[in-house]
Chains A and B, each alone.
Chain A
Amino acid sequence: MGELAGAGEIDPREAAARRRLSEIGTVLPVVSSKGGVGKSLLSTVLALLLSRRGYRTGLLDLDFHSPSVHLILGERGKPREDRGLLPAEVRGLKFLSVIHFSGERPLLLRKEGISSSLLELLSTTRWGALDYLVIDMPPGSGDELLELLRLAREAEFLVVSTPSRLCRESVERMVRGLREAGARVAGVVENFSSSPSAWKGVRLLGRIGYDPELEGAVGRVERLLQTSFARDAEGVLEEYLRG
């Protein structure tokens, strides 16, 4: 007769999620304490630029309440089932979003459902060999961020801000929080930037100026990559890759 081990139930997704994330070259979550600062656009453009440089790149939209990466890409593709979940293939990227499962339904979800869905996706998605997994995160320091901090210990967080004091103050607080949690902060990107402003205690990866052409390029990848936003993002990427 065997011996009964341990106390409590085991959620088998935890071990699987950790292992799958550890197989990815670099997990690059794009975060901000505020919404509307350009996380989704920056995530998508960075993923496209990485892919064009020959890196095997995945793009995961973890904004469960407000996914928008599929709009920026102009298509969503379709994930497949084969010994797990195979992400959609869109514009040279492996792409996955809650939109693949929710369709057009309003995303009225409580945090328990979101944390659990996040764990489900991370534990069953077969990204294959990836150099980079760019993750478009929802705004704030809530459950999604905490889950990712727990499961992806090696992730490099890229923090997006605007020059506004209202944003900077909370972004600086977020950077402190990430570091206190033991996370790696790759640096800050200042979007809607108009004049140089100093960032203390955190590496500035680059500034992105306001681009009035950007909205017209949403959903049109080739045009998107011709915008000044994409050119500035290229500078951010170069600075990031310099290490």
Chain B
Amino acid sequence: MHEWAIAEGVVEALLERGRREGARRITRFTLRLGEIQGVEEELLRFALGELSRGTPLEGAEIRVEREKGRVGCRNCGLEWSPEGEREEALHFLPDLLPLFLRCPRCGSVDLEIRGGRGVWVSSLELER
């Protein structure tokens, strides 16, 4: 249930932003879930619902956008979306993905994540 810790971060970040903006309520927000981390949407939604109770976030509509994992090779420039079994370690530290890969074209280990890493709040709507 790593999703719980991620949800705690999302709730804290949203409430902090809401306070800063002088919001009475946060009515809707969008989460971008990177596929590398393998976050389970249902678990995350459940945790967000539980943690939002009694806060200006309670009842907010949650939109989820999924972002495919993209890795780039700094040696030959190839960009691709890794497929296949996900290592458990990446659930906790998605940035370690390059350790588990080689460039399928040139074999380089000098790789960078170009998309789909973790969880981001990409928009929110509020009432003042």
Query: Roughly how many angstroms separate A165 CA and B57 CA in the complex, as a whole number?
Result: 56
Q: Which of B118, B123, B125 contacts A13 (CB 8 A)?
A: B118
Q: Which residues of A contact B (CB under 8 A)?
A: 1-6, 9-16, 19, 79, 81-85, 98, 100-103, 105-110, 112-114, 116-117, 120-121, 123-124, 126
Q: Contact check, A2 vs B127: say whether CB atoms are below 8 A apart.
A: yes
B40 sits at the interface (CB 8 A): no
- Which chain B residues border A121 with CB–CB below 8 Å? 92-93
A to B CB contacts below 8 Å, 23 in the list: A2-B126, A3-B126, A6-B17, A10-B120, A10-B124, A11-B13, A12-B10, A15-B9, A15-B12, A16-B8, A16-B13, A79-B92, A81-B2, A82-B1, A84-B2, A85-B5, A101-B89, A101-B92, A109-B99, A112-B95, A116-B95, A117-B95, A124-B5
- Which chain B residues border A79 with CB–CB below 8 Å? 92
Q: Contact check, B98 vs A109: say whether CB atoms are below 8 A apart.
A: yes
Q: Contact check, B5 vs A83: say whether CB atoms are below 8 A apart.
A: yes
- Which chain B residues border A9 with CB–CB below 8 Å? 32, 120-122
Task: Report B17-37 residues with CB < 8 Å from chain A CB.
Answer: 17-18, 20-21, 23, 26-28, 32
Q: Contact check, B28 vs A10: say whether CB atoms are below 8 A apart.
A: no
Query: Roughly how many angstroms separate A98 CA and B100 CA in the complex, as a whole number?
Result: 14
Given contacts A9-B122, A101-B89, contact A16 B95 (CB under 8 A): no
- Which chain B residues border A114 with CB–CB below 8 Å? 95
Q: Which of B1, B14, B23, B112 contacts A110 (CB 8 A)?
A: B112
- Which chain A residues border B41 with CB–CB below 8 Å? none
Q: Contact check, B5 vs A117: say whether CB atoms are below 8 A apart.
A: no
Q: Contact check, A10 vs B13: say whether CB atoms are below 8 A apart.
A: yes
Contact pattern, B 64-105, Cβ under 8 Å of A = 1, otherwise 0:
000000000000000000000000010011111011100000
Query: Roughly how many angstroms separate A11 CA and B96 CA in the complex, as a whole number?
Result: 18
B128 sits at the interface (CB 8 A): yes
Given contacts A2-B125, A84-B5, A108-B110, contact A12 B93 (CB under 8 A): no
Query: Roughly how many angstroms separate A1 CA and B61 CA in the complex, as a whole number?
Result: 12
Q: Contact check, A2 vs B9: say whether CB atoms are below 8 A apart.
A: no
Interface range for B: 35 or more
- Which chain A residues border B27 with CB–CB below 8 Å? 2
Query: Roughly how many angstroms separate A111 CA and B120 CA in the complex, as a whole number?
Result: 20
Q: Contact check, A14 vs B13: say whether CB atoms are below 8 A apart.
A: yes
Given contacts A16-B13, A102-B96, contact A5 B21 (CB under 8 A): yes
- Which chain A residues border B32 with CB–CB below 8 Å? 9
Q: How far is the CB of B25 from chain A (nearest CB, A)?
A: 8
In the complex, which residue of chain A has the Cβ closest to the Cβ of B91? A81
- Which chain B residues border A84 with CB–CB below 8 Å? 1-2, 4-5, 8
Q: Which of A1, A105, A106, A124 contacts B2 (CB 8 A)?
A: A124
Query: Roughly how many angstroms separate A15 CA and B14 CA in the complex, as a whole number?
Result: 9
Q: Contact check, B6 vs A105: say whether CB atoms are below 8 A apart.
A: no
Q: Contact check, A112 vs B112: say whether CB atoms are below 8 A apart.
A: yes
Q: Contact check, B93 vs A3: say whether CB atoms are below 8 A apart.
A: no
- Which chain B residues border A2 with CB–CB below 8 Å? 26-28, 125-127
Query: Roughly how many angstroms separate A110 CA and B112 CA in the complex, as a whole number?
Result: 8
Query: Roughly how many angstroms separate A117 CA and B37 CA in the complex, as a whole number?
Result: 12
Q: Which of A13, A83, A113, A123 contacts B98 (CB 8 A)?
A: A113
